[in-house]
Structure 1
């Protein structure tokens, strides 16, 4: 199966019956990011986490109706 990275527009081949290919076919909203872009994003995020101004916005714990 040929897939296109949403960040770098590179075209890669993945196995047609791999779990990733099945998920991409099942949920068309899900996007594909190539391994090199994924690695680059991971490195940049880890650098930002070291900064004191980094805030990770998480969902509040507990009952959402309060």
Structure 2
């Protein structure tokens, strides 16, 4: 919501790299929720590919740590 508001007001936005790094370290459920509730970053295909790659990497890391 903060990033969408910044976009509307032509202000500095949260870099995609930051969003992806947060997802990689376990914040992807919140990212997924933001995508579904406020339709944030749902259209940009390159971001979606990177987002889902970070989800898979995070899940693989959790699986590896649990084993």
Give the TM-score band, short-chain normalised.
0.3 to 0.5
Tell me which protein shows more strand as a share of its residues.
1
Structure-2-length-normalised TM-score: 0.33
| Structure-1-length-normalised TM-score | 0.33
Whose helix fraction is larger, Structure 1's or Structure 2's? Answer: 2
* Structure with more contact order per residue of length (Cα contacts < 8 Å, sep ≥ 6): 2
